[in-house]
A and B are shown apart, each in its own frame.
Chain A
Amino acid sequence: MKANLTTICSIDTQEEIRGFLNKFFEGVDDLTDQKRNQVVLAIDEAIANAIIHGNDSDGEKSIQLDLDVDKKRIHIEISDIGLFDEIMNNDKKDKDLKSVIKEKQKGGLGLKLIYSIMDVVCFYTQNNKSYCLMVKLLK
């Protein structure tokens, strides 16, 4: 089962993308409602990061989302996320909650959510394009 979507870099599109994802994942066996909601959330977080931080919400740019599901796993690829260096150099995913509260940060929780929900998370570049690869195991 495969699907793909191309969207402009605007947070205005996110509600629609979540609708698309929910509909797509409804057809996936072995995915409970809770797991489906979590996977949609992780993808939403990755896309929000790519739009806001990676591409400065530049509506001229676009993001590609590719989904591939088999009996064992959900494979998600997002490109061009535009924030390869930032991802490689930050420690936000490991930041503890008390520091986030103390520093009154609005951001920094998205990566924590992604890493908590997904079984594999990987960022890489290829041919001057940056990618976010995520895998959720189904069994």
Chain B
Amino acid sequence: MEIIERYEDEILTILLKGELDAKSSIDLDETIKMALTQEKTRIIIDCQHLSYISSAGLGVFISHLDDLKAYGGKFVFYGMNVTVYNVFEILGLHTIMEIVRDRFEAQTLMNES
């Protein structure tokens, strides 16, 4: 799995490429922890190239949700394929996480907060 970060206009975009499972979620967790220490709390997750997600990957996002909120930030996800979105749906996470279709919507939603 490839994790690519881009910081622009006080928004951190994390692009996930490949499969997010028990192994790769360790790297993602480190990336988000580092972002928090740098006070980068407005985080857009680009899922356009994310082909798979397991509970370990979801667990990383869940474990940082409250911390981001406490610092006035949040996650916004975009570009999810049906397979990945379905995993969020099974657990009911699609009602808790902010998931939109494209980059424009993600940025708009982030700037509203």
Which A residues have a C-beta under 8 Å from some C-beta of B? 11-12, 14-15, 18, 33-34, 37-38, 41, 44-45, 48, 51-52, 97, 100-102, 104-110, 112-113, 116-117
Contact = CB atoms under 8 A, between A and B. Distances in A.
Contacts of A107: 55-56, 59
Contacts of A104: 62-64, 66-67
Nearest to B93: A97
Contact of A48 (B19, B56, B86, B92): B56
B29 A15 contact: no
Interface residues of B, number: 28
Contacts of B96: 97, 101
B69 to A, nearest CB: 10
A12 B23 contact: yes
Contacts of A38: 86, 90
Interface in B42-82: 52, 54-56, 58-60, 62-67, 82
Binding site of A, secondary structure by majority: helix, strand, loop or mixed? helix
Contact of A106 (B29, B67, B90): B29
B12 interface: no
B31 interface: no
A48 B59 CA distance: 14
Contacts, number: 81
Contacts of B56: 48, 106-107, 110
Nearest to A44: B54
B81 to A, nearest CB: 10
A18 B22 CA distance: 13
B87 A41 contact: yes
B59 A106 contact: yes
A12 B90 CA distance: 26
Nearest to A10: B23
B21 A11 contact: yes
Contacts of A113: 55, 87, 90-91
A106 B62 CA distance: 7
